[in-house]
Amino acid sequence: MGRCVRGILSVLALCGALCGSVLPTAPAARAAEERRAAPVPLEKLFDNIAVSDDDLPGRADFDGAGASLSARDLTAAGWTPGRALTVQGARLTWPRRQPGEPDNVRAAGQEVRVTGRGDALAFLVAGTSGTETGGTGTVAYANGTRSGYRLAAPDWRTGPLATKAVALPHINTPGGQLAEQARLYVVTVPLVPGRAVTSVRLPRAAGLHVFAVTVRAATQGWTGSWTTSTGGYGAVGPWTDRTLRLVVHTSAGGPRVRVRFENTFAAAPVRIGSATVAVRASGAAARGAPVPLAFGGAAGVEVPAGAQAFSDPLGFAVPADADLLVSFHLPGTVPAAPVHRLAQQRSYVSGPGDHAADGTAAAYTSVITSWPLLTGVDVSGGPGSVVLLGDSITDGDKSTVDANRRWPDVLADRLRRQGAVPPYGVLNQGISGNRVVTDRYPGDGVSTDGAGVSALHRFDRDVLAQTSARTAVVFEGVNDLRWDTSAEQVIAGLSELAARGHARGLRMLATTILPCEGEARCTAAVDAERAAVNEWIRGGGVFDGVLDFDAVVRDPDHPSRILAAYDSGDHLHPGDAGLAAMAESVDLSLLVP
């Protein structure tokens, strides 16, 4: 009897042990099983149909309610099956699927084969849950390590237009087409620098759809020499069979060059028939024959809506501190384009024909004072770039036209003249009228407002995606305060920018906000809010360093005003002398990561 009891107890103990070990660890066992599953390419996991033929909308169901993307709209935007699209510096491929075929995966923890080295993962995504949706995932590296990330996708019908990759004008439903915009987004998340990626585990997130994922290659071997931000999508010309010759001023030099065109905010592709680069002699005349640029070996390129195009690397000696002529022919009709409105530099438009290769100025009969389509010039070699994110004061408003006296230009001069810190390229991402937390341009459609989307909404494109960015300087806030945004809201926005930059390994600096008493909207209440923001910038410890431009330009006897010698006359913008004083005050060692 005793042996029987002991036997029963032993069996019960064994059962208890087994039950105790199996049941609580079922999730762990499932996770282990998932880890053992070999990663597969994303397209082999497609389990949802987002795109429908406009005549057969019932063959797709993107959102679970029968709605879908229009194949005709995608084609009109240049997003055709299998097409490579470069957005935020990442090369993604729109799924090579026909309408009515599975073309995306609903994120549910799948292990996806992704390879490469770079600074970020880029996802082409959209949500269908009615609001932003997301979750956490992991990245596996060749050395056996993993890192985590968080991915959030805005909703395809309600998400912000300011951060979209592309917006389409219709939504297909079984009951008919709706005149309602559908949005697609490119979202990037950081990688561990230098490690080779082998796979990515997607989040588990209801309503999160992934169309493509790739590693954004780091821009090693290149330095950004010149850039500008697209502040809106403005009416131009219209230009038909015209050549634009844009004048841009380099910061760093190098033995090879590549340029970047962007069709930001657009709804349709733009065709560049040919393009050249030359050093400027004077006006629209080149010093020597302009040299042709190529795009994937071709003379021209079509840039899809919302996408970018980089030219092939070209052996061309780019001098530092020099004017370049970047000329490009527009063979079709261009009635509107992404544009940087306040260039403070005269550029040129030709009469009919392709005049990109002309060395003389004869064909260039019109002058423009904006920069359409062109957003970057990179040179090979060099130590990388400093990105200056700002408003009209960084943009150079009230500085002398055609003289390159913006404070970023003076900073670039200082970096070239010294040897204590690396001679970084200086990238001016100022937009006149820009704000930290509020969009001036709504992010879609043709608009007369060229003040851009908010710093928060353009940070990924205008800072994180810039060539070899090492340090970013944030110089914004006065426009927010002048238009009734509180100090607390500005501080929250600046804090978010600092955190997002730090997450990508950038050194983040901030400048204090300049005084502006005497300008119509700069009331005593605004000045009090400005003082509160500046006090936080100086003492908050959120940024890695502070450039105290307020202390540089204010009148010591009247601190709420700009010193008369530095005032352009409107009491808001420093003139050439004030901009130079700001740049000369920068402790260059603060720029070094």
User: For the residues of 529-541, what is the DSSP string, one character each?
Assistant: HHHHHHHHHHHS-
pLDDT, one tens digit per residue, over 537-558 is 999 899 999 999 999 999 999 9
User: What is the structure's pLDDT at 460?
Assistant: 97
Domain boundaries, the chain: 42-216, 229-376, 383-593
Residue written as tokens 């420093």?
Answer: 574
Residue written as tokens 């065709």?
Answer: 271
Q: How many degrees, rounded to 5, is the angle at CA 204 between CA 199 and CA 208?
A: 95
How many whole angstroms separate alpha carbon 242 and alpha carbon 363?
A: 10
Res 255 pLDDT > 80:
yes
- Residue 515 · residue 567 · CB < 8 Å: no
What would the two tokens of residue 183 be?
A: 């949005």
User: What is the structure's pLDDT at 27?
Assistant: 54
How many whole angstroms separate alpha carbon 255 and alpha carbon 243?
A: 26
Q: Smallest Cα–Cα separation from 526: which of 477, 574, 570? A: 477
How many whole angstroms separate alpha carbon 468 and alpha carbon 224?
A: 7
Gyration radius (Cα) of the chain, Å: 27
Q: Which amino acid is at 193?
A: P
- Residue 452 · residue 458 · CB < 8 Å: yes
How many whole angstroms separate alpha carbon 210 and alpha carbon 219?
A: 25
Cα atoms found within 13 Å of the Cα of residue 430, Cβ hemisphere only: 24
Higher pLDDT, 18 or 581: 581
| CATH value of 383-593 in 3.20.10.10, 3.90.1300.10, 3.30.70.141, 3.40.50.1110 | 3.40.50.1110
Classify residue 574 by its DSSP letter. Answer: B
152 forms beta bridges with 134
User: What is the structure's pLDDT at 36?
Assistant: 53
Give the mean pLDDT of 150-162: 98
pLDDT, one tens digit per residue, over 370-414 is 999 999 999 999 999 999 999 999 999 999 999 999 999 999 999
Which residues have CB under 8 Å from 346's CB, separation 6+? Answer: 247, 367, 368, 369, 401, 402
Q: How many beta carbons lie within 10 A of that of residue 91, not counting itself?
A: 17
The percent of residues in the chain predicted with pLDDT above 90, rounded, is 93
Q: Smallest Cα–Cα separation from 257: which of 301, 291, 308? A: 291
Mean pLDDT computed over every residue of the chain: 94
